[in-house]
């Protein structure tokens, strides 16, 4: 269900500027990269693949 | 109707932006000037649709995370970088609706509503607001997005086309049809 806001007041530029946090963006990117580069991740995937292959055989 | 001027850039500015993008492809830290330049417009786009400041902040931040992680795929084909960011923002906003984190909100300011009523050839009486709400509820999401971008956010047809990945002319035709449908539903 759509909600309609009439007489909407835009937030001020100062308010929006105060929400800027480029460091947070960089942190999120680092967390993402660390997750995909984590050897445990590929280790677990590899183990699961080999196990399922062995069960299948 | 006065259009938003933020979108239209000079060739020099586009070239400077492209150089920043190339630098940011090598090191995300160089993306900072683009983040500072577009944060506000992306945040405003998001908050109008989700009506939740904290969530809008989070979505905006995710838009830039996605932009940086996919920056290698970005190629300049005459479409400004801002349109590419708005496309990501659009997709993130709809994802938040699918995840039921936010409710689809249409935010209309005082000036825009007057212009919409002018298009519909009626005055701004409360009764007409109720009729407009009813009509806006009946049009589909694509039509609503077009009306929203053109009449509530004052975007040019060129920018709308680039955000929804169609030509400027096609954006114009689609918006015209959406408005015609809105007019019919308004009169029902």
Tens digits of residue pLDDT in B159-172: 999 999 999 999 99
| Tens of pLDDT, residues B21-45 | 999 999 999 999 999 999 999 999 9
| Short-list B163, B57, B145, CA closest to B104 | B145
Retrieve residue A38's tokens: 């984590």
| Short-list B58, B63, B154, CA closest to A10 | B154
| Short-list A2, A9, A23, CA closest to B53 | A9
Taking an 8 Å cut-off on Cβ atoms, the answer to whether B106 and A26 are in contact is no
CA distance B72 to B76: 11
Q: Please tell me the total number of residues recorded for chain A in this structure.
A: 57
| Short-list B176, B152, B174, CA closest to B161 | B174
Q: What is the CA radius of gyration of chain A?
A: 23
Residues B68 and B24: beta-carbon distance below 8 Å: yes
Helices (H), chain B: 11-26, 32-50, 53-69, 81-98, 110-120, 126-138, 141-147, 157-164, 168-187
Taking an 8 Å cut-off on Cβ atoms, the answer to whether B48 and A8 are in contact is yes
Q: Which residue has the higher pLDDT, A19 or A35?
A: A19
Cα torsion angle, B136, B170, B111, B39, sign: positive
Give yes or no for residue B155 having a pLDDT over 90. yes
Residues B153 and B5: beta-carbon distance below 8 Å: no
Retrieve residue B175's tokens: 């918006």
DSSP assignment, residue A19?
T
Give yes or no for residue B188 having a pLDDT over 60. yes
Nearest to A8 among B103, B104, B108 (CB): B108
Nearest to A8 among B29, B65, B109 (CB): B109
Closest B-chain CA to A8: B109
Retrieve residue A21's tokens: 């946090």
Burial class (CB within 10 angstroms; exposed 0-12, middle 13-18, buried 19+) of B153: buried
Find the chain A residues whose C-beta atoms sit closer than 8 A to any C-beta of B.
1-11, 13, 16-17, 19-22, 24-26, 28-29, 32
Confidence label for A39 from pLDDT (cuts 50, 70 and 90): low
Q: Which residues of B67-84 are buried (b: 16+ CB within 10 A; e: fewer)?
A: bbeebeebeeeebbbbbb
Report chain A's mean pLDDT, rounded to a whole number: 85
Q: Cβ contacts (< 8 Å) between B29 and chain A: which residues?
A: 26
Q: Cβ contacts (< 8 Å) between A9 and chain B: which residues?
A: 109
Confidence label for A55 from pLDDT (cuts 50, 70 and 90): confident
Q: pTM of the full predicted structure?
A: 0.85
Picking from B6-15, B55-64, B74-83, B133-142, which range would have the lowest pLDDT averaged per residue? B6-15
Q: Number of A to B CB contacts under 8 A, please give it.
A: 79
ipTM of the complex: 0.81
The CB-side HSE value for B186 (13 A sphere, CA atoms) comes to 20
User: How close is the nearest chain B Cα to the Cα of A4, in Å?
Assistant: 5
């Amino acid at each position: 269900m759509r909600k309609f806001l009439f007489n909407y007041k835009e937030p001020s530029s100062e308010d929006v500027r105060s929400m800027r946090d480029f460091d947070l963006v960089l942190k999120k990117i680092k967390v993402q990269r660390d997750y995909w580069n984590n050897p445990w991740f590929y280790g677990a995937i590899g183990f699961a693949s080999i196990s399922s292959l062995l069960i299948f055989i | 109707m006065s259009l938003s001027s933020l979108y239209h850039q000079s060739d020099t500015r586009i070239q400077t932006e492209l150089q920043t993008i190339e630098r940011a492809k090598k090191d995300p830290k160089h993306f900072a000037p683009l983040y500072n330049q577009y944060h506000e417009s992306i945040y405003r786009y998001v908050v109008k649709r989700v009506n939740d400041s904290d969530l809008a902040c989070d979505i905006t931040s995710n838009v830039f995370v996605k932009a940086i992680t996919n920056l290698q795929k970005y190629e300049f084909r005459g479409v400004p970088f801002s349109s590419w960011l708005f496309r990501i923002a659009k997709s993130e906003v709809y994802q938040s609706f699918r995840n039921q984190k936010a409710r689809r909100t249409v935010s209309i300011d005082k000036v825009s509503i007057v212009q919409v009523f002018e298009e519909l050839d009626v005055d701004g009486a409360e009764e007409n607001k109720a009729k407009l709400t009813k009509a806006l509820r009946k049009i589909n999401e694509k039509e609503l997005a077009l009306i929203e971008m053109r009449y509530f956010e004052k975007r040019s047809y060129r920018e709308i086309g680039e955000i929804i990945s169609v030509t400027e002319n096609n954006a114009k035709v689609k918006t015209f049809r959406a408005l015609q449908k809105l007019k019919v539903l308004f009169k029902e």
